[in-house]
Amino acid sequence: MKRSGRPDRKGQSKRRPQNTSQTQRADICDARGADARGIGSRRLAINLIEAVLGRRRSLDEALAATAQNSDGALDPRDRAFARLVAATVLRRHGQLATLVDAFVTQPLPEEARRVRHILLMAAAQLVFLAAPPHAVIDTAVTLCKGHKRTYRYRGLVNAVLRRIAEHGAAIIEQQDEVALNIPAWMRAQWTSDYGEPLAREIALASLREADLDLTAKTDATVWAERLGGRWLGAGAIRLSDHSGRIDALAGFAEGAWWVQDFAASLPARLFGDVSGRRIADLCAAPGGKTAQLAARGGLVTAVDSSASRLERLSANLARLGLDSTVVADDARSWTPDAPFDAILLDAPCSATGTIRRHPDILHLKSADDIAALTTLQADMLDHACDLLVPGGVLVYCTCALQKAEGEEQMARILARREDLIAMQVTAEEIAGNAHLLNTNGEIRTLPCHAPATDAAPGMDGFFVGRLRKSA
């Protein structure tokens, strides 16, 4: 970490929050200070951090599990703020850990792990979420007092956070956010695949919070105007700085749209006219692509191995007024009664293209996962191709940035199977986004890319390739 001297109060630099939405959401903290409801949301944030870093659960799984305990009593606004704080800690963990270590003179024992999480949570609010120092520090000290293992550290927490409030912004400004927050193995793979300059752009974009993208069932331009968003082409809408409940937005209850990143909306566009065609959506949950295909008249069978995720898919389709056959089965071995005209395979992957939305990936994935995932993807690809009618079309996609899970996977199946032909994608098929196509006519999106109709960069990292089975 680069550091010059610690500035005095007069010379202290002020760090702006990452974006307007975080400023808005930090207002939740401003108004509540250390009251009971504020304590509840911060306690939930700590529990979420511990679930990811200590028990290796995904952030959203951990948040969903709170509905079964006392944390579920918090209102949606408090739960959303708890997720924001936890996500900020996970996204900026390297920077925050280095900052905390600068002011904790003696390493904390293992039994005080919760104290460290309190410090990380409070530091995140101070240097990244523009929260008022007095409220953050008072709440953190109150949290220490409320737990027998943390009570004796209340003085330490108070002292460390006061120093972070005074000097933290200046220290953060001098840190290399990529080196501290992105795992070395991930940076190495991105550099190998894209070169160092672009790999750094990818990393920087991955550390930014994502906008909210929607796909409209019909009349996307009308809904973009009504929601105060930007039309991105085809059915896609972007809402920047959205901080409220999604289900409170106009059009949610009547099923006018669903949440779907712009990049994630591209694969389902590659089948052309799907009306009346039998289509299998493999690994379908949570169902955005199923909804796209069903809304265009496709006869869709949605397959996923997770019954609970399929329940969510079915609920989404019911809200949207769309129909699909839902099957709980393993896409590697599922055997339908008849082959399909088209198949969409969104294969399990490292999900490194979605770090903006799921920063827990930075902590839960490892280089060792890639080999196992590429084997699984190859098995699924081969089986999916066997389920096509002669002349049928398969679209393969992953939300991974590593080429081993995308471009190389496509090259390998074309090399080992003579019954498959690559079908190049045209810019017209993806709303004029020619810059998202590689030299093989495949889609490769990166977090630092911008849609053709929008000046602001930001989308999930996706690979999408298309195959036709020979007649």
Given a contact cutoff of 8 angstroms between Cβ atoms, the answer to whether 303 and 346 are in contact is no
Domains assigned to the chain: 20-179 (1.10.940.10), 261-469 (3.40.50.150)
Which residues, other chains included, contact 160 with Cβ-Cβ below 8 Å and sequence gap of 6+?
100, 103, 104, 119
Nearest-CA neighbor of 100 among 146, 140, 40?
A: 140
Nearest-CA neighbor of 396 among 449, 444, 330, 448?
A: 444
pLDDT at res. 149: 87
Does 113 have pLDDT greater than 80?
Answer: yes
Which of 241-245, 344-348, 385-389, 413-417 has the weakest average pLDDT? 241-245
| Prediction pTM value | 0.91
289-331 pLDDT tens trace: 999 999 999 999 999 999 999 999 999 999 999 999 999 999 9
219-242 pLDDT tens trace: 999 999 999 999 999 899 999 988
Given a contact cutoff of 8 angstroms between Cβ atoms, the answer to whether 76 and 63 are in contact is no
Positive or negative: CA dihedral 300, 406, 286, 430: negative
402-439 pLDDT tens trace: 999 999 999 999 999 999 999 999 999 999 999 999 99
Does 121 have pLDDT greater than 50?
Answer: yes
- 31 falls in which pLDDT band (50, 70, 90)? very low
pLDDT (mean) for 255-266: 98
Question: Which contiguous run of DSSP H or E holds residue 421?
Answer: strand 420-422
Compute the distance between CA of residue 141 and CA of residue 146 in angstroms, rounded to an integer: 9
Does 30 have pLDDT greater than 80?
Answer: no
Positive or negative: CA dihedral 155, 157, 160, 163: negative
Given a contact cutoff of 8 angstroms between Cβ atoms, the answer to whether 462 and 399 are in contact is yes
Given a contact cutoff of 8 angstroms between Cβ atoms, the answer to whether 286 and 313 are in contact is yes
How far separated are the first and last CA of the chain, in Å rounded? 60
Residue 196's SS3 state is helix
Counting residues of the chain whose pLDDT is more than 70, the rounded percentage is 91
pLDDT at res. 435: 97
Residues annotated as part of the active site:
399
pLDDT at res. 111: 85
Does 37 have pLDDT greater than 60?
Answer: no
Residue 9's SS3 state is coil
Counting residues of the chain whose pLDDT is more than 90, the rounded percentage is 86
pLDDT at res. 359: 98
- 455 falls in which pLDDT band (50, 70, 90)? confident
Compute the distance between CA of residue 16 and CA of residue 29 in angstroms, rounded to an integer: 16
- Please give the mean pLDDT across all residues of the chain: 91
6-28 pLDDT tens trace: 334 333 334 434 443 443 444 44
pLDDT at res. 70: 66
